[in-house]
Amino acid sequence: MIRTLLAVVLLLLPALAAARPGLFFAVTDPAGEPAAWVYATLPSAEPRIRRLPGAVERALEGADGLVVGVRPDGEARQRVAAASRLPPGEDLRDHLGLELFAGAARALEGSGLSRESMARLRPWAVALALATPAGVDPGRPVLPLIQRARRSGLPVRGLESAAERIAALSDLAMPDKVGLIAHLTDFRPELGAWQARLEAAWLERDVGAVARRHDELMAGADAAVAEAFREAVIARRSARMAARLERRLAAGRRPLVALHAVHVPAVLERLEAAGYTVTRAD
């Protein structure tokens, strides 16, 4: 369970979007030269989603590197593991109250996270556990590409650090964290159906629809909690990732970019606003 929790930290939640058909896109610069390729991934156990398309494999052969959300490595996982734990002597029950703690623990029964282990976690880590569908490995989609890139001697870069991903939730005010856990505890029975809707949107090859479906995670939440979540975890992170990719392309890099599908619409919109042309390549 902890390993899955660490993986989901490296993939947190991002941007709302309008319609954007496609899952794989070619980006050309204002002179018409290839600048990048962008592939929208989705954590899933569905074989059709996990299968790496041939067009993406071929694009990696023509790229000068691979860009992902956060480059997974052992050191990053160790930092996340350490950051997810409360300081010695603290107990999550003191932050949540006994009733909410008990409800969240019941919601996570069968996940592999015991009540005593949960009591030692920070609120943001418990929120991520509650938001992770059973059987879904958030780090799985980019691993085949990372392995191929390394075999080919291509550099693998991340658009965010693990610390930045953690901060997106950990920096929320405590009342917002508690409200988020309360909402996700109530939402947990619907999580499997929500994941199925995400997968259906991905299989329809509409990355904009995936982003809109992803926003359903906060449906029914307290308005203030939902606003704080979207601003910190969605809007700010999406803008940061898109800006960093734009700077990378401006420096002459020509990467294959593989990001969770909910990130992709905002990234493409930023590149188009900067004068790049985005065309569907799948």
Q: What is the pLDDT of residues 250-282, one digit of tens each?
A: 999 999 999 999 889 999 999 999 999 999 998
Question: Could you report the per-residue pLDDT of 215-247, keeping only the tens digit for each?
Answer: 899 999 999 999 999 888 888 888 999 999 999
pLDDT band of residue 2 (cuts 50, 70, 90) is very low
pTM given for the model:
0.88
pLDDT attached to residue 18:
56
Question: Could you report the per-residue pLDDT of 28-46, keeping only the tens digit for each?
Answer: 999 999 999 999 999 999 9
Angle at 270 between CA 267 and CA 273, to 5 degrees: 150
pLDDT band of residue 19 (cuts 50, 70, 90) is low
- Mean per-residue pLDDT of the chain: 90
Question: Could you report the per-residue pLDDT of 38-72, keeping only the tens digit for each?
Answer: 999 999 999 999 999 999 999 999 999 999 998 77
Which of 119, 162, 112, 136 lies closest to 2 in space, CA to CA?
A: 112
The pLDDT of 126-148, averaged and rounded, is: 89
Q: What percent of the chain has pLDDT over 90?
A: 76
pLDDT at 12 over 50: no
Cβ neighbour number for residue 274 with a 10 Å cutoff: 15
pLDDT at 209 over 90: yes
C-beta separation of 20 from 263 below 8 A: no
pLDDT band of residue 6 (cuts 50, 70, 90) is very low
Q: Are strands 256-260 and 66-68 parallel, antiparallel or unpaired?
A: parallel
pLDDT attached to residue 254:
96
pLDDT attached to residue 235:
81
pLDDT band of residue 169 (cuts 50, 70, 90) is very high
Which of 215, 212, 277 lies closest to 38 in space, CA to CA?
A: 277
